[in-house]
C-alpha cells in the first residue's frame, strides 16, 4: 500500500484567477489527506515596465493579504500541519531583479520554478505544441539559467515544454536538463494536475530519460482547488510512474 503524501510544495490560491477555494479550505483538505507540510506557491506577481495587468497570476497588491492569511493559518493550525509561504514563478531575466526587490521584505520560505513563458506572458505558452527546436533549446537554456540563480527550490513540471518533433532532438536537449538537475541534486517534479487532467505531462519519454540519468523526483499536487490535495488515486499513479522509471522519490525538501 502506498503511504500518504508527506509534503506538497505546489499549491495555488484563488488570487491567481484560475484556482478556487479559500486558503483555509486548502489547509483543512491537506490535513484530511495526511499531509504534514503544505507549501503554498501561488503564481508570483511580476513588476512590469508598462501598465500590463496579468489575468493569470496574483497582482502585486495582493501579496500582503496572501502572506497575512497564511501566517494566520500557520498559527491556527500549528498543531496539525506545517504551513510554508512560497511562490511559483518563471525565470524572466529582464524582470527578475524587480521581482526580487519587490519580494525582499515579505516572509517567503521558498520559490519553485515553473517556466510557463520564456519572455513575457503575452508570448506563447511553453505548453503549446511545437516542432521548433529553437523553442525547446531556449526552454532548457532558460530553465538552467534560472536554476543557476539559486532562487528556486525545484523545477515544477519540467516536461511542460510541448516539443512534438524528433524524439532524438527532444532527448538531446532534455538529457542536458536531466544531467544538470542530477549534478545539482534538484529533483524533477511529477505533476499530479497534469496526470489528473490528461495533459501532455507527465511525459513518459521525459521520465524515461530522467530514469536513464538517475534523477530523483518529487510529486507536486499543483492544487488549484482544495479537493486536488485529497486525490490519493492520482498520487498513487504518480508514485507508480516514479517506480516504473526508477526515479527515487523525495518525500520532503524543507
What would the pLDDT profile of 153-170 be if each residue is shown by its tens digit? 999 999 999 999 999 999
Question: 188: domain range?
Answer: 7-249
- pLDDT exceeds cutoff 80 at 1: no
The dihedral region occupied by 107, where left means phi > 0, alpha psi between -120 and 50, and beta the remainder, is beta
The pTM is what?
0.96
Distance, CA of 45 to CA of 57 (rounded, Å):
6
Give domain status of residue 2, yes or no. Answer: no
Give the model's confidence band at 119: pLDDT under 50 very low, under 70 low, under 90 confident, else very high: confident
Residue 254 lies in a domain: no
Question: pLDDT, tens digit, for every residue of 198-215?
Answer: 999 999 999 999 999 999
Asked if residue 1 belongs to a domain, the reply is: no
Q: How far apart are CA 44 and CA 57, in angstroms?
A: 6
- When the pLDDT of each residue in the chain is averaged and rounded to a whole number, the result is 97
CATH of the domain at 164: 3.20.20.140
C-alpha closest to that of 115 among 66, 84, 149, 164: 149
Domains in the chain, number: 1
What average pLDDT does the segment 102-113 reach?
98
Joined grid coordinates for residue 72 = 494566520
In a domain, 139, yes or no: yes
Amino acid at each position: 500500500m502506498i503511504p500518504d503524501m508527506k509534503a506538497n510544495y505546489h499549491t495555488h490560491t484563488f488570487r491567481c484567477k484560475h484556482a478556487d477555494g479559500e486558503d483555509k479550505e486548502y489547509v483543512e483538505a491537506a490535513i484530511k489527506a495526511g499531509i504534514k507540510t503544505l507549501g503554498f506557491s501561488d503564481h508570483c506577481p511580476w513588476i512590469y515596465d508598462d501598465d500590463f495587468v496579468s489575468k493569470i497570476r496574483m497582482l502585486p497588491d495582493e501579496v500582503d493579504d496572501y502572506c497575512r492569511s497564511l501566517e494566520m493559518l500557520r498559527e491556527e493550525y500549528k498543531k496539525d500541519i506545517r504551513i510554508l509561504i512560497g511562490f511559483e514563478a518563471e525565470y524572466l531575466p529582464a524582470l527578475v531583479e524587480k521581482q526580487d526587490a519587490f519580494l525582499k521584505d515579505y516572509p517567503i520560505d521558498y520559490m519553485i520554478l515553473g517556466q510557463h513563458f520564456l519572455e513575457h506572458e503575452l508570448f506563447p505558452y511553453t505548453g503549446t505544441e511545437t516542432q521548433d527546436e529553437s523553442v525547446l533549446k531556449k526552454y532548457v537554456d532558460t530553465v538552467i539559467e534560472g536554476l543557476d540563480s539559486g532562487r528556486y527550490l525545484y523545477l515544477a513540471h519540467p516536461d511542460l515544454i510541448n516539443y512534438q518533433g524528433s524524439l532524438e532532438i527532444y532527448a538531446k536537449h532534455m538529457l542536458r536538463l536531466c544531467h544538470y538537475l542530477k549534478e545539482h541534486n534538484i529533483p524533477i517534479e511529477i505533476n499530479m494536475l497534469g496526470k489528473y487532467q490528461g495533459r501532455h505531462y507527465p511525459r513518459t519519454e521525459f521520465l524515461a530519460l530522467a530514469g536513464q540519468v538517475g534523477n530523483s523526483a518529487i510529486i507536486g499536487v499543483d492544487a488549484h482547488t482544495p479537493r486536488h490535495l485529497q486525490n490519493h488515486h492520482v498520487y498513487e499513479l504518480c508514485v507508480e510512474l516514479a517506480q516504473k522509471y526508477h526515479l527515487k522519490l523525495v518525500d520532503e525538501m524543507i
